Chains A and B, each alone.
Chain A
Amino acid sequence: MIDGLKKEIEGVRRSFLNEIAQIQSPEKLAALKERFLSRKKGIVSQQLLKLRDCAAAEKPVAGQLINQLKMFIETELARIEEKIGARRGTQEQWSDCSLPASDLPIGRFHLIAEIQRQIEDIFLNLGYEIASGPEVELEEYNFTALNIPEYHPARDEQDTFFIEGFANMVLRTQTSPMQIRYMLDHQPPLKIISPGKVCRKDDPDATHTPVFHQVEGLLVDQGIHFSHLKGTLEVFCRSFFGPDVNLRFRPGYFPFTEPSAEVDISCFMCSPRQGIPPAGTSAADAASRVQSDCKVCKGSGWLEILGSGMVHPQVLLNCHIDPEIYSGFAFGMGIERVAMIKLGVPDLRMLYENDLRLLGQFG
């Protein structure tokens, strides 16, 4: 009995394969499906009817054989259906590919964190290491070791938060104390940046928030000079703001650097080539292209970006590094300020409201 069934099933299988091989249209495929799989008159159903005649012992095997046939036919039909596109366009499978896409949720990085990462990446590529330190800092490291003794007028420029119950601790007003921490732990050559949060007791306004972010850089080795500082900052500024920007070093004052320099970049919006006169023109010509109504530089042609200088010998001495053998440079910049300039953020307070509509514009 089983052997006969086996032969019969093989016959059905072959005839199905023959027929399906010739089918081109969805209509013919539907007819084929009807003929083989219809509940009542389908060829497979007809086979199932034969189970009644089987001996009880043979029923499971026979049933399995017929089921295998059914699954084979279903699978093949589905495969061909898909191939000739018979599934599309049928009444019960309506779809419209022009329906709008859903808003799948996306998340973004905070603008400040993203700018910080961009700055870090440039310096990592230049071979700097990232050094981070505590936000509650020893007053010694934040000021005294950086050559800002008590009662120094420079302390006035950085209104400081003090910690209740810890007379020698402050919220760091700059990321510069990392210089001290790192130099106390490492011998030159050393080459680090230290990004992070800093706090100054400023009432919030459009350009000040009591908490903000800085990136500090430090390089100490033998034979380091002021022109190295300029080269490094030029590479950084051109990488970050655009290959055309030019740098202007101005004398400045930081107690922990000597000589010190304020660094301006030419306004990348209206006059990036300021200060580098193209052949055949004068510096005055270049300056004349500064737009007096430029919203970025307010007509000055220059944007103040960085504070920098050669590490003060006293600071090296405070960290047990001999200033007669080693020299170094340091620089620092405010991330919010850089963000303000590069991206046109009008009011720094907005960055700390964490309005998702605003954050959604960046990062």
Chain B
Amino acid sequence: MRINIDYLRKFISFEQDTKALQDLLTVSGLEVAEVMTVEGQTVFEIEITPNRPDWLSHYGVAREIAAANGQARFLPLMVDGIALVGGEKRFAIAIEDASDCWRYSGAIVRDVRVGESDPAVQKLLISLGLRPINNIVDVSNLVMMTCGQPLHIFDLGQLQGEQIRVRRAKKNEKIRLLDEREVALNEDFLLIADASRPLALAGIMGGLESGISPRTRHIFIESACFNPLVIRRASRLLGFKTDASYRFERGMDVEATIPALKMALLLLGQTQPPSYFQDVYPRPLPPTVVPLDKDYPSRLTGINIEPETSSAILQRLGFQLQDQGSRWQVQVPSHRVDVSCKQDLVEEIIRIHGYGHLQAQMPLSTNPFLRIDREREIVQRLKNQLAASGFNEVINYVFQSPEENALYDPQLPPLALKNPLGKDFSVMKNSLLAGMLKNTAFNANQYWERIAIFEIGNVFGQHEGRILEEKKLAISAYGLKQKKDWRSREEAFDFSYFKSLLAMLGRLMRLDFAFKKQAHPAYIDTCSFAIEIAGRPCARLGEVAPEFCRYYKLERPVFAAEIDLQALVAAVGEKRFSGTNRFPAVRRDFTFLMAKTVSYEELRSCLERLQPEVLESFELTDVFQGPSVPADKVSFSMGFTYRAQDRTLTGDEVNAIHLEFTAKMVEQMHLIQR
């Protein structure tokens, strides 16, 4: 909101220059966002928090300066001279529901001449960011900017019948507003109506027909106080705000309707009482009273604040105090709609006393025990390992396009946003892969050759009316694993490297990752795996399907994995010391031919089944295909390590065991020994 400093000086005198005033207001909570010069006058743009509608006027700001400077009072416009009596019986004012409209005051002024406002008034309004319209409308705006109360002025000639009604709209009722838009109404809207039709949307905008025109001769001025919730709901439904609705939805001073009306009359040059005046206030609101222990301000702020200081500040802000020994009963002024509890009062006291008085102190409170965040530790360990392996962390948005979700898995029902920023961001991610492919493409376009990235983030879905949200760690690799230089050959990422990387992460966590072939729409059928830990799925990896890559114009293969962090963390166990085997190990090698139709996985599970007790481990040391190997076979070389728990194995013992073991292998897997 704009405050014209020259106009402000009409209501309060202060010694501060512009800079000092700016600082004073800022430390009082009225943040001066900008200082401007408009029409040769100094104007502050002030950011006013939603709890302080009483600051949305020059009066409000003057009141604050007075309190901050320790002045007893500011000088409001002298409006008390006008008596509001008005005997004319033009019409009755009826409020249908007193909870919609708390107060409705109005007056009629006859024989006005519609024309331009005084140039000084126009200049003032322009400096406050308002467009001068005519001398009548300008008065209502000037009153609002001066004391905060929004007014509405009707052309009396357009009011039909003998009643002004404040009522809810009926379904299918319509109104054409001052800005010429037509609005279809329903019971959520509060109207000002005459006997036959809607005249204005209460608290938001007047109707076109009853507005001030050059032909207007007599006017009816409305000064009312509406329920903030009603105005806010209507404004939300309409999708727009006005200066009036902005104020009403924050809460206006129910006691301000009469002074504002008087100010309008004064500004219209009226020195005589109006011919018609009505003030309908069906259920006068009792003032808010808050009990405050005198030592509470000190207890809540942690600094010593003398009761005299507290009471002086509250009184300067317009609160009335009744002393009850160790406490006060504090009566809240009607314009302070935000104050309802003792903490609110302490904020007022410390605000004016100065936040600068707060003393830095450390609280001694501790949690009953410190819960170590295991997930955080495990994730940090995985991140460290990935970074050490040359993978970079990325972070993406949580939403993406429906196509991107479908590319990952068209079967999963997406979790969609009701009001997205656009179609490209309209569904919550069902996987982190799409974002990572997008990042890969971005960097590939920058001629980055080795694009190895990972991301930690949540993915979303829904199942039987429940929202699913899971934390994932996704990893992807594209392009060169190793760039060519004088000592190294160029090497592209391939699946076996990527699988090894995942296996390494498993070993890091001391988990036994089992790679199970399992088709998934995001991956190529022949290269799509689930990782299981003790039979429970915890990750998926593979080579990303070509359609998915093409969507991001990626020409080379992308290898990717996505780990379910909750499943992984659950599987990681606490280890206790288990000793080491000090007996020597004996190694035997075995080379054989196996049919290409048999997978290594089948061989491996066969070996695990046949495994002699003293076989500690086995490894694949070579895979060979060449002229010496038949076309339908592959040559494998394997190393076997034997070790007993309780003794040193002799050479003969191992030879016998190895011979028997390999003979069984040959038989069961139809191998040919080389």
Contacts and interface: CB of A to CB of B under 8 A. Distances in A.
A226 B394 CA distance: 38
Given A210-B425, A211-B398, A127 B366 contact: yes
Interface stretch (B163-171, B440-448, B645-653): B440-448
Interface in B282-341: 299-303, 341
A315 to B, nearest CB: 11
B420 interface: yes
Contact of A258 (B232, B344, B416, B420): B344
A171 B451 CA distance: 31
Nearest to A329: B363
A81 interface: no
B442 A354 contact: yes
Interface in B477-528: 483, 485-488
Residue of A129, A227, A231, A351 with highest tally of chain B CB at under 10 A: A227
B300 A225 contact: yes
Interface residues on B, range: 35 or more
B186 interface: no
Given A151-B229, A163-B467, A219-B363, A107 B390 contact: yes
Contacts of A16: none
Nearest to B299: A225
Interface string A163-174: 111100101000
B28 interface: yes
Contacts of B50: 152-154, 156-157, 253
B236 interface: yes
A231 B361 contact: yes
Interface string B214-242: 00000000000000110011001000000
Nearest to A130: B373
A153 B250 contact: yes
Contacts of B415: 136, 163-164
Interface in A33-68: none
Interface string A238-279: 000000000111111101001111100000000000000000
Interface stretch (A4-12, A17-25, A189-197): A189-197
B347 interface: yes
A140 interface: no
B462 A227 contact: no
Residue of B236, B347, B415, B454 with highest tally of chain A CB at under 10 A: B347
Interface stretch (B84-92, B152-160, B381-389, B544-552): B381-389
A234 B28 CA distance: 21
* 7 tightest A-B CB contacts, nearest first: A105-B390, A227-B302, A251-B29, A259-B347, A253-B49, A225-B302, A153-B50
Interface of B: 26-29, 31, 49-52, 228-229, 232-233, 236, 249-250, 299-303, 341, 343-344, 346-347, 350-351, 355-356, 358-363, 365-368, 370-371, 373, 376, 380, 383, 386-399, 415-421, 425, 428, 439, 442-443, 446, 448, 450-454, 456-458, 460, 462, 467, 469, 483, 485-488
7 contacts: A100-B485, A127-B367, A151-B249, A156-B50, A162-B419, A197-B457, A211-B397
Given A228-B362, A247-B360, A259-B300, 6 more contacts: A197-B398, A258-B341, A258-B344, A313-B341, A354-B443, A363-B393
